[in-house]
Amino acid sequence: MYVIGFLEGACAHVLDLARDGIHAYAAFPQVPLQVFFVGLVILDPLVVVLVVLVRREGIWLASAVMVADVFANWWGNRHWLQDDPANLVRLSPVTLFGVFVVAFAHPLCWTIAGTAGRPRAALPTA
């Protein structure tokens, strides 16, 4: 699920940049948010590569990216949420995926990635 979600995010950000260029996120008045969303073009695929390689760093990076992404989306869109709370539906997918990523980060690190690179026990010989 991590790979699918981050690939979808990477594709969305690449398409935004292809369509509108470096100013794709000019609707956000805060320059740090604009820079962050453009930076997701690099961060999202990096997460995918690290998760596919079953690296613990990929799982933690995924969590950090999603916490920042959810915060940036809520902060950057707070004005229209105050105007019409029904717009909350637009932030639901990124928020739910962020909760999913963070909720499963610790279990994944210690069950899947925690065993990566460890030699398997030798089979008993007869």
Q: Are 104 and 62 within 8 A, CB to CB?
A: no
Q: Is 55 left (phi over 0), alpha (psi -120 to 50) or beta?
A: beta
Using the predicted structure, report yes or no on whether residue 113 has a pLDDT greater than 60: no
DSSP state of 46: H
Mean pLDDT score, 45-59: 92
| 98 HSE (CA, 13 A, CB side) | 16
CA distances from 105 to 4, 102, 110 (A): 16, 5, 9
Per the document, the length of the chain is 126
Mean pLDDT score, 66-94: 87
Domain boundaries defined on the chain: 2-114
Using the predicted structure, report yes or no on whether residue 121 has a pLDDT greater than 70: no
pTM as predicted: 0.82
